[in-house]
Amino acid sequence: MAETSYEFTRAITRAPCKSIIDGLRAVDIGTPDLDQMRADHELYVATLKETGATVLELPAVDDFPDSVFVEDTALCLPQGAVLMRPGAPSRMGEVAHMAPHLRELYDDVREIKGPGHIEGGDILTTSREILVGLSERTDMEGVEELRALVKDWGHTVRVVHTPEGVLHFKTDCSLLDADTILSTKRLAVSGCFKDYRVLHTADGEEACANAIRFNQFVLMPAGFPNTRDMLQENGYQVREIGNTECAKLDGGMSCLSLRF
Ligand code: CIR
């Protein structure tokens, strides 16, 4: 049986847009270089395709600077998709750009109507449950609405906390396989993964916690050799993707695709 939390046949991505330089960021560490971001994005998409998956590559949308980070617009599950309601006002309109594509690919597309907010970056789907981290972007009302929407699909939702000052729950963790999570120590110490095997990012390499397991590969940001070596020693087939430009906007590997 397919392990639906990391075995995928499809992904959706969106090309980086010229207005990416206006993307949201917690701290300004420099202007993203669009050409570099495009090159990294191409390698990302090519790596997803290398696993045999079909990737729907959507065109850039200049009206929404952060629209390359498609993960925040929806939660894709085997039974259907749920359109999110981003907590960042400048990102709310991105959902309408994603909705028609999901409606074409899924028979059942549901929608967070509000008043709460929830972004895909705060949601980690494992083979057992859906973990949702409360954050600056995701509130309890949003989580409760999601819980109600996915119940009859057989999913349980567990609420967890995102470390202070961290954008999204998944900024600090990733699923590696059915039982294993890659996590920063600062997140794992909360005990939220106590029933899983946890591999920690190396000290000083917390910024690579946002990786993705996509079929046979673990895609992780380039430049974090100690964590990379640790993952390889644990038997994972690692692919490193440049992430310097997305990192300037607090983005990582998971943000760049919807996977199902
Ligand atoms: C934002 O602040 O919304 C974007 N600059 C970054 C979004 C990253 N998305 C994600 O982690 N899922």
CATH number reported for the structural domain that contains residue 149 in this entry? 3.75.10.10
Residue 247: pLDDT band by 50, 70, 90 thresholds? very high
Task: Give domain status of residue 1, yes or no.
Answer: no
pLDDT at residue number 137 = 98
Q: Is 175 in contact with 181 (CB distance < 8 Å)? A: yes
Q: Does the CB atom of residue 137 touch ligand 1 within 6 A?
A: no
SS3 200: strand
| pLDDT above 90: residue 1 | no
Task: Give nearest CA residue, ligand 1 atom 1.
Answer: 24
Find how far residue 51's CA is from the centre of its chain: 18
Give the count of domains, the chain. Answer: 1
Task: Give domain status of residue 5, yes or no.
Answer: no
Residue 255 known to be catalytic? yes
Q: Does the CB atom of residue 245 touch ligand 1 within 6 A?
A: no
pLDDT at residue number 182 = 98
Query: How large is the average pLDDT for residues 230-238?
Result: 98
Task: Give domain status of residue 2, yes or no.
Answer: no
Which pLDDT tens digit goes with each residue over 4-33? 999 999 999 999 999 999 999 999 999 999
Query: How large is the average pLDDT for residues 138-154?
Result: 98
Task: Give domain status of residue 3, yes or no.
Answer: no
Q: Torsion angle of alpha carbons 116, 122, 127, 128, nearest 10°?
A: -50
What domain range is 171 assigned to? Answer: 10-259
Catalytic residue among 168, 173, 192, 246, which?
A: 168
Task: Give domain status of residue 223, yes or no.
Answer: yes
Task: Give domain status of residue 34, yes or no.
Answer: yes
Which pLDDT tens digit goes with each residue over 158-198? 999 999 999 999 999 999 999 999 999 999 999 999 999 99
Task: Give domain status of residue 4, yes or no.
Answer: no
User: Within a 10 A sphere around the Cβ of 40, how many other Cβ atoms?
Assistant: 21
pLDDT at residue number 2 = 79
Q: Does the CB atom of residue 92 touch ligand 1 within 6 A?
A: no
pLDDT at residue number 259 = 98
User: Does residue 100 have a cis bond before it (omega within 30 degrees)?
Assistant: no
Which pLDDT tens digit goes with each residue over 85-144? 999 999 999 999 999 999 999 999 999 999 999 999 999 999 999 999 999 999 999 999
Task: Give domain status of residue 70, yes or no.
Answer: yes
